[in-house]
Homo-oligomer: A and B are copies of this chain.
Amino acid sequence: MAPVAMAYGRVCVGLLLGRAAPCLRALRVLSGMTVSQGTRDYNPKQMAIREKVFNTIIGCFKRHGAETIDTPVFELKETLTGKYGEDSKLIYDLKDQGGELLSLRYDLTVPFARYLAMNKITNIKRYHIAKVYRRDNPAMTRGRYREFYQCDFDIAGQYDPMIPDAECLKIVYEILSELDLGDFRIKVNDRRILDGMFAMCGVPDEKFRTICSTVDKLDKASWEDVKNEMVKEKGLSEGVADQIGEYVSMQGGMDLAERLLQDPKLSQSKQACAGLADMKQLFSYLQLFQVTDKVLFDLSLARGLDYYTGVIYEAVLSQMIQAPVVAEQNGALPGDEASVSVGSVAGGGRYDGLVGMFDPKGKKVPCVGVSIGIERIFSIMEQKAEVKKVRTTETQVLVASAQKNLLEERLKLTTELWNAGIKAEVLYKKNPKLLTQLQHCEETGIPLVAILGEQELKDGVVKLRKVASREEVDVPREELVEELKRRTSKLP
């Protein structure tokens, strides 16, 4: 591998559209010096942004009284079997090296349901932030990461209808507002309304789920394309498809739920009526939670996963960002979905049957939850944060010296600062130049320097310098720790 190829090795993954494959092969020669396809490292600046985003999200989850749990990164293969429908082909399996058959977790919801059943837990409000794994075919779904974070919040338990569901939406609202990502909408619908609507329009029972998947494409495809799939691929009559078309174009709030309860067709479906009555109830709680300005009852929202049984929702950012650049910086493949639109950043719903699939007696535990899709939020935050200015350490003071032969004094003082809980650094050189030490502060954003010099040592003082203003003041050696404690307690 020639060093020149190395130099642009990373860049070409992102930039040479259509030539990614040979380029990846070239990288491969470097005996394992790259990451695997669809994964990425987080550098210190990305980690600083990630920490900020996580703190906001975890802060919200804690404000709502949630506990947290953790589960292993791999589960027994059978735990995941039969939970994801067609998407099962995207599950990563581990090699059979003797012993159990294992798979990497595909989401956090199935491990949560397994955890509840295994420990016989019937009610809990928990969050779980962890990475999940999907062998997405880059040629098909275009560069979603294969390893990505999910931030899940779920409420399990038998409660009065729609109160926990409304809290999940409140949480999405709070998090997206606090992260300050621009305007957003939270679309809600209900699987029972969709199913009732399908039944009343004349869709055969066995086609509910597959027609649901087709409707789910409406956020990316036109009605013509969706109708085409319904008629030509899924075998609905044009009349049936057109009736569905009328419904899925409807959007509104509590008023729409009320109107549809009077709809001659829908009102004949018990399921649809149950869903619509709950939707009214949901909106009444959302009003109390002061979030109705961003919530939209949208009959075209379907969600892909099989396990939802009631309310479903999805949050979408209005802002379109110049995603290709960000995606490439992160090592995503060209043609990334994010380059089209930011799209959905959170989704979830009610799944009352999943825990029962793990219980020997089929005992159900009703659950509702939401998953925040953090990768897209990272990309936006990275664009917003002028990345150059993001600090990657929290160091408050650099202990520096103005002359040679002061290493011992520097280490002694640094020790005092560490022992007092002050975040301090010292350069690992016996005789660093003062300029080098000051440059280190400028580059990494350290706000204060404690400078030791021969004269200062004689006088029993330390020169304390503010990096930004270059102000200097002599502080008696024995007062330095207290003075620094005072000053650093005011730092961000």
Contact = CB atoms under 8 A, between A and B. Distances in A.
B360 A430 contact: no
A36 B103 CA distance: 10
A423 B70 contact: no
Contacts of A22: none
Interface string A35-65: 1110111111001101100000000001111
A405 interface: no
B64 A360 contact: no
A118 B429 CA distance: 26
A428 B126 contact: no
A100 interface: yes
A39 B131 CA distance: 16
A92 B100 contact: no
A361 B170 CA distance: 55
Contacts of A395: 65
A222 interface: no
A290 B429 contact: no
Interface string A62-76: 111111111111111
A488 to B, nearest CB: 11
Contact of A74 (B36, B163, B428): B36
A199 interface: no
A393 B62 contact: yes
A8 interface: no
Contacts of A428: 155, 157, 159-160, 163-164, 167
Nearest to A124: B44
A157 to B, nearest CB: 7
B415 A288 contact: yes
A489 interface: no
A48 B67 CA distance: 8
A394 interface: yes
Q: A interface, how many residues as a size bin? A: 35 or more
How many copies of the polypeptide does the oligomer hold? 2
A35 B94 contact: no
Contact of A425 (B6, B65, B96): B65
B71 A392 contact: no
Interface stretch (A78-86, A244-252, A306-314, A333-341): A78-86
A135 interface: yes
A418 B173 CA distance: 12
Interface in A397-437: 407-408, 411-412, 415, 418-419, 421-425, 428-430
A365 interface: no
A75 B36 contact: yes
Contacts of A37: 99-100
Given A35-B71, A36-B102, 6 more contacts: A33-B360, A41-B71, A44-B67, A74-B147, A164-B428, A288-B408
18 contacts: A1-B360, A32-B80, A36-B74, A41-B119, A42-B71, A43-B119, A44-B68, A44-B124, A47-B67, A62-B423, A63-B424, A65-B423, A68-B392, A72-B147, A74-B147, A157-B428, A163-B407, A170-B418
